[in-house]
Amino acid sequence: MSRNSKQWTQKPNLPSTHYADPKIYSDPAIFEEEKEKIFKKVWMLAAHESEVANPHDFRTYEHPGGTRLVIMRGEDMKIRTFYNICPHRGNLLVYEPSGNAKKLVCIFHQWAFDAKGDCVDIPRGKAGYQDRICESDVGLREVKTEVGYGGFVWVNLDDSCAPLSAHIGSALDYMMPELETEPLEVLWYYQATLRTNFKLIHDTNQEFYHDYLHYHNRITGMLDPKSGYFQRRYTAFPNGHASVGSMNVSYDAYTGSGHSALGWPKLPPNGWKLVDLFPCITYNLRTSVLRIDSYIPLGPDRVLLEFRILGLKSDTPEVRKQREKDAATIWSPFGRNLHEDLLASSGQGMAMARGSDPMYVLHAREEDNLIHDEVGMRHYLEEWSAWMGRSSSDSTRKIADSKPQATAPAHQEQDVAQPA
Amino acid sequence: MNTDRTTVEELVYQTCTALDRNDYSEFLGLCDQQFEYKVTAFSPEIRKDMTWLDHNRAEMEELFHTLPKHNSDHAPLTRNAVVYKVSYDNDKKQANVVTALQIFRTNLDGGATQVFAVGKYYDTVSLDQDKPILVKRHVKLDTRDLGWGNHIPI
Q: Are residues A178 and A117 in the same domain?
A: no
> What whole-number distance in Å separates Cα of residue A277 and Cα of residue A150?
14
Q: Are residues A341 and A240 in the same domain?
A: yes
In the prediction, which pLDDT does A212 show? 97
Angle at A326 between CA A279 and CA A255, to 5 degrees: 115
In a domain, A185, yes or no: yes
In the prediction, which pLDDT does A261 show? 86
State the CATH number of the domain containing residue A373.
Answer: 3.90.380.10
Q: Are residues A194 and A132 in the same domain?
A: no
In a domain, A191, yes or no: yes
Q: Are residues A174 and A280 in the same domain?
A: yes
Q: Are residues A181 and A301 in the same domain?
A: yes
Q: Are residues A200 and A336 in the same domain?
A: yes
Q: Are residues A235 and A96 in the same domain?
A: no
State the CATH number of the domain containing residue A124.
Answer: 2.102.10.10
Domain end point (choices A148, A178, A207): A148
Q: Is the pLDDT of residue B65 over 80?
A: yes
State the best of B45, B51, B53, B141 to mutate against chain A, taking most chain A CBs within 10 Å. Answer: B45
The answer to whether residues A53 and A72 touch, using CB atoms and an 8 Å cutoff, is no
Residues of B in contact with A186 (CB under 8 A): 46, 48
In a domain, A158, yes or no: no
Q: What is the pLDDT of residues A236-279, one digit of tens each?
A: 999 999 999 999 999 989 987 677 889 999 999 999 999 999 99
In a domain, A355, yes or no: yes
| A51 in B contact zone (CB under 8 Å) | yes
In a domain, A309, yes or no: yes
Q: What is the pLDDT of residues B83-134, one digit of tens each?
A: 999 999 999 999 999 999 999 999 999 999 999 999 999 999 999 999 999 9
Write the DSSP assignment of A334-395 as a string of letters.
T-HHHHHHHHHHHHHHHHT-TTS---PEE----STTBTT--HHHHHHHHHHHHHHTB-SSST
Residues of A in contact with B73 (CB under 8 A): 343
Q: Are residues A195 and A284 in the same domain?
A: yes
> What whole-number distance in Å separates Cα of residue A101 and Cα of residue A112?
11
The answer to whether residues A161 and A41 touch, using CB atoms and an 8 Å cutoff, is yes
In the prediction, which pLDDT does A2 show? 97
Kindly indicate the confidence band of residue B34, based on its pLDDT and cuts at 50, 70 and 90: very high
Q: Is the pLDDT of residue B69 over 80?
A: yes
For B5-141, CATH number?
3.10.450.50
Q: Of residues A202 and B1, which shows the higher confidence score? A: A202
The answer to whether residues A243 and A275 touch, using CB atoms and an 8 Å cutoff, is yes
| Sheet of strand A44-48, all strands in order from the earlier edge strand to the far edge | A44-48, A152-156, A142-148, A79-83, A68-73, A57-62, A98-100
CB contact under 8 A, A255 and B65: yes
Q: Where are the domains of chain B?
A: 5-141
In a domain, A31, yes or no: no
ipTM over 0.90: yes
Q: Are residues A337 and A305 in the same domain?
A: yes
Closest chain B residue by Cα to residue A52: B46
**Of A264, A312, A304, A306, whose CA–CA distance to A282 is shortest?**
A306
In the prediction, which pLDDT does A402 show? 67
**Of A248, A242, A257, A206, whose CA–CA distance to A230 is shortest?**
A248
Alpha helices in chain B (DSSP H): 5-20, 24-29, 57-66
Residues of B in contact with A59 (CB under 8 A): 45
CB–CB contacts below 8 A, A to B: 116
**Of A367, A395, A410, whose CA–CA distance to A33 is shortest?**
A395
Structural domains in chain A (count): 2
CB contact under 8 A, B46 and A213: no
Q: Are residues A140 and A175 in the same domain?
A: no
Domain end point (choices A148, A178, A197): A148
In the prediction, which pLDDT does B44 show? 98
Q: Are residues A142 and A187 in the same domain?
A: no
In a domain, A163, yes or no: no
The answer to whether residues A241 and A175 touch, using CB atoms and an 8 Å cutoff, is no
In the prediction, which pLDDT does A401 show? 65
Domain encompassing residue A247? 170-388
Q: Are residues A382 and A266 in the same domain?
A: yes
In a domain, A33, yes or no: no
In the prediction, which pLDDT does B3 show? 83
pLDDT < 70 stretches in chain A: 257, 401-402, 404-420
Domain end point (choices A86, A117, A148): A148
